Amino acid sequence: MSFLRFTLLIFLAAASARATSRPVSFQHEVLPVLTRQGCNAGTCHGSPSGKGGFALSLFAFDAAADYAVLTRDLLGRRVDIFNPPLSLILRKPSTALAHRGGLKLSKNSREYRILHDWITQGAQTDPPGTLRCEGIEVTPGTAAVLHWPEPLQQLRVTARFEDGSRRDITHLAKFTSSDEAILKVDPVGRVTGQQRGQAAVMIRYLEHVAALPFTLVKPVPGFHWTDPPTANYIDTLVHSKLRELQFNPSGLCTDSEFLRRLHLDLTGMLPTSAEAEAFLSDESLGKRARLIDTLLARPEHAIFWAQRWGDLLRVTPSKLQSAGAQAMHRWLVDAMADNMPHDRFAKALLISSGDTFVNAPANYFRASSSRDDVLETTTQLFLGARLACAKCHNHPFDRWTQDHYYGMGAFFHRIQRVGVDKKKGGKGELLVSTVSEGEVTHPRTGRTMLPWLPGRGEVVVPQGTDRREVFADWLTRPDNPWFARTAANRIWAYVMGRGIVEPVDDFRDSNPPVNGPLLDAMARDFAEHGFDRTHLLRVILNSRTYQASSRSTSANGEDRRLFSHFQPRLLSAEQLLDAVCRVTGLTESFEGLPAGTRATALPSPQMNHAFLKTFGQPSRDTVCTCERATEPQLAQALEFLSGKLVHGKLESANNRFRKALAAGSSDHEIVTEIYWTALSRPPSTGELTSAFRHIAGASDRAAALTDVCWAILNTNEFVFQH
């Protein structure tokens, strides 16, 4: 159909259309209806290749393209301006014709009438000068608390236009619950609680996204708040949330549990048997706080936490060359040992230049090998924002738009990476620098993008100024609402097993923190103390919340998110390997590294190590914490049951208990030493009795002791942190 003929048909249809009270807006009504019905979702016609030959832009981010697809493609059959009910856009979703997606549009619905009226009026696009929607407002405007027996809330959504006018668009908004087990929301915005807990409702209208967090409070028969003591503001805020949702916290963990937990969190290693016995025999007040200070100052703490940052910064020879990986690892260890403030740490990475073998932070731009990679890495690490989705279209679950993506990308567009030719004496290093020219062009609109910052908008950077410095200064401001919260959440997650926002690098309105006041207080404390990582760690570790028992009670057994009790978690691959080595008294050898190197001190992954691979050591290909496997798997159980590494160390004549046996130690001495080393506690009477019975009934004492040690290594108490 020619463009002239199509235009003429629209004119004739509009002239003969029945009169309506007002024209239907393509931008403000038709597209929202398609979003509301799920037509342009990523699982339907909004997927990159569309469905059934019909492709829409994801959540209507490209109105012009969507208009062309609806009115021009398929010989104009999707809209029939002469006989609107025959339009495919009406017949398919109403199932008048076979529709793989099922019924999406009832004929007696308001949405059907909007599409029908738009087609009847000539299926026209909005005229020039149509007011632009600048945002949406949701009523109620703040976090809501719903109580039984009527946990109900009606939402109202208002669109705000550029001339200051407002319009109720509740019937055009798309509502989604973040957790339907806790609350449900129907298409008209009516929220209904299902069970106690916390969830959010996400509201979408065009490119505008809002989210409203809900707390669902359901009375628990017989609940009585025990009013437990508090050590600091962490406990106060955790207890406030627990009391609101009617969970009582567990009591304190035992000294042996605390000792083992703290050593693993701060150094990655088990305490020695001597350290465990000394701590448990110490009856003085304040011994837990003193141990926290002692371990924070240990060199093993800096090395272990450098490894954690090595995961995030992709410190691996495949990305940085061996020399670069070694340099970056040493820099991270020094930064952790010196307790480098987090704002200085971030700036050192973001404005680094020079030879990647000499100036280690410059490897940040080697691991991130392109402008887009740098942008996505930086926002995920330091803002908790997963921006990758906004590269091709507006973010489907957040406020980020494609304009935001390329506006922020402008800060990193002028980075230059030049490899040093080996023929000219180079060894594979990369020289990182910036140039004074170069702009980002928006791939869809063709517009030249000025640097853009959240909360500030477009930024004019003076000529000759490194744009990265402007970004880094904004990022590390104490009042930046993302920087401190993201860092505090990550530190909390490392020692508590899960973040207040989870995943830790996925901050968005539709994924609210489980305890917003707690996260805000930690972020404020962190910023006020100069972004001191050790200070914040010390506050968390001294709290009763961190020191809570992992044993749940009838009053908190249902809680998995609010930190009413410590959540047991599987030791990391490196921690487990070092723990096996500590119990057996045998070190592990790693290719190209000095003898005695611990797994928790590895500068980069050992991808050829079967044990580490089985237990989820990441290859460091991405900046996502999800790359490190944390869930137990069958292969891991088999590794301990019959794996080569564990079996080999247990059978070695040089292991701890075989040496003790050769030296004439008694069964009691040997078994007790194994328990102290593996579990940081003495064996119980029942455990000793079982061990002695097995040894006495065996013909080979060494083999029997091997069985005892093997049994201890296969307990949940050993492989999990409690």
At which residue do the structure tokens 């402007």 appear?
470
Domains detected in the chain: 3-120 (no CATH), 133-217 (2.60.40.1080), 300-476 (no CATH), 573-615+632-721 (no CATH)
Report residue 166 CA to chain centroid gap: 36
For residue 14, the model assigns a pLDDT of 46
Distance in angstroms (rounded) separating the CA atoms of residues 449 and 458? 9
pLDDT cut 70: percent of the chain above it:
96
Please give the Cα distance from 680 to 669 (Å, whole number): 15
CA separation for the pair 555, 246 (Å, rounded)? 8
Q: Which amino acid is at 586?
A: L
DSSP string, 167-233: EE-GGG-EEEES-TTTEEE-TT-EEEE-SSEEEEEEEEETTEEEEEEEEEE-PPTT--------SSH
Would you give the distance in Å from CA 319 to the centre of its chain?
23
The sign of the torsion formed by the CA atoms of 398, 401, 406, 407 equals negative
**pLDDT value for 584:** 97
Comparing 53-62, 186-195, 447-456, 485-494, the range with the smallest average pLDDT is 53-62
Per-residue pLDDT, averaged over 404-410, amounts to 95
Task: State the average pLDDT over residues 98-104.
Answer: 86
**Residue corresponding to tokens 């990391």:** 572
Of 35-49, 506-520, 545-559, least confident by mean pLDDT is 35-49
Which element (helix H / strand E) includes 646? helix 644-651
**Residue 64 identity:** A
Q: What pLDDT sits at residue 424? A: 59
Q: How far is CA 648 from CA 39, 48, 270, 640, 706, in A?
A: 58, 51, 21, 11, 11
What is the tens place of the pLDDT at every residue in 667-702? 999 999 999 999 999 999 999 999 999 999 999 999
State the pLDDT at residue 423.
Answer: 56
Residue 87 has pLDDT above 80, yes or no: yes
Q: Is the pLDDT of residue 15 over 50?
A: no
Burial 243-258 (b: 16+ CB within 10 A, else e): eebbbbbbeebebbbb
* Contact between residue 214 and residue 153 where contact means Cβ atoms under 8 Å apart: yes
List the structure tokens of 12: 């004739």
Q: What are phi and psi of 440, to 5 degrees?
A: -95, 130
Whether the Cβ atoms of residue 235 and residue 545 lie closer than 8 Å to each other:
yes
Evaluate whether 449 touches 441 at the Cβ level (below 8 Å): yes
pTM of the model: 0.91
pLDDT on residue 17: 43
Indicate whether 388 pLDDT > 80.
yes
Give dist(CA 380, CA 400) in Å, integer. Answer: 13
pLDDT for 601: 97
Rg (CA), the chain: 31
Instruction: Grade residue 9 by pLDDT with cuts at 50, 70 and 90.
Output: very low
Average pLDDT, the chain: 92
Q: Is pLDDT above 90 for 3?
A: no
Pairing of strands 144-147, 208-217: parallel
Q: Decide if pLDDT at 12 tops 70.
A: no
Question: Between β-strands 166-168 and 156-161, what pairing exists: parallel, antiparallel or unpaired?
Answer: antiparallel
- Residues for the chain: how many in total? 722
**Which residue in this structure is represented by tokens 């509201």?**
203
Contact 365, 371 (CB under 8 A): no
CB-neighbour burial class of residue 89 (10 A; exposed 0-12, middle 13-18, buried 19+): buried
**Over the stretch 247-302, which tens digit does the pLDDT of each residue have?**
999 999 999 999 999 999 999 999 999 999 999 999 999 999 999 999 999 999 99
Q: When comparing pLDDT for 96 and 427, which is higher?
A: 96
Torsion, Cα 474 480 481 487, to 10 degrees, reads 90
pLDDT at res. 21: 56
Residue 447, pLDDT above cutoff 80: yes
Mean pLDDT value of segment 128-139: 93
* Rounded Cα distance, 208 and 148, in Å: 32
State residue 425's pLDDT score: 61
Residue with the bigger pLDDT between 256 and 628: it is 256
More confident residue, 653 or 424: 653
Residue 453 backbone dihedrals phi, psi, to 5 degrees: -130, 140
pLDDT in tens, 596-609: 999 999 999 988 99
From residue 638, alpha-carbon distances to 30, 344, 428, 611 in Å are 57, 45, 41, 11
Q: How far apart are CA 565 and CA 251, in angstroms?
A: 8
Q: How far is it, in rounded angstroms, from Cα 365 to Cα 514?
A: 34
The Cα–Cα gap between 612 and 599 comes to: 9
CB-CB contact of 548 with 565 (8 Å): yes
What does the pLDDT read at residue 2? 46
Bigger pLDDT: 396 or 14? 396
Integer Cα distance of 610 and 126 in angstroms: 62
CA geometry: angle 297, 298, 302, nearest 5 deg: 90
Q: How far apart are CA 293 and CA 228, in angstroms?
A: 25
Q: How confident is the model at residue 7 (pLDDT cuts 50, 70, 90)?
A: very low
Residue 11 — pLDDT band, cuts 50, 70, 90?
A: very low
How many other C-beta atoms are found inside a 10 Å radius of the C-beta of residue 341?
19
Over residues 230-235, the mean pLDDT reads: 98
Sheet containing 354-355: give its strands across: 354-355, 430-434, 415-419
